[in-house]
Amino acid sequence: MAVQEYDEWIKQLPGGKKVRYSYQLLTTGFSASAQILEPIDATMVYTHTHTDLPAPADRAQIEAEFADDLTEAETR
């Protein structure tokens, strides 16, 4: 399983938390993750790996994939 493409970016959520998104296009599918960076003592990482779906067309699709996870994290 080789990495064909990689992208990473940081975005601040409306609630103030910063999230690092990353995306890897693999020969067998793709993997995306969202890591909450603040607060440092409660860092959470969510990872979704797909082998049966087409790769997302842009960053907005990757961010949308983690919307439920990040909304749940905001309520903790």
pLDDT tens, 13-36? Answer: 888 888 999 999 888 888 899 998
CA angle at 72 for the pair 10 and 44, rounded to the nearest 5°: 50
pLDDT of residue 63: 92
Average pLDDT over residues 39-63: 82
Cα 34 from Cα 44, distance rounded (Å): 8
Residue-number span of the structural domain to which 63 is assigned: 3-74
Q: Which range has the worst mean pLDDT, 12-16, 29-33, 54-58, 71-75?
A: 71-75
Q: What percent of the chain has pLDDT over 90?
A: 26
C-alpha Rg value of the chain to the nearest Å: 13
Query: What's the mean pLDDT when you consider all of the chain?
Result: 84
Domain total of the chain: 1
CA-to-CA separations, 23 to 33, 46, 49, 53, in angstroms, rounded? 7, 12, 10, 14
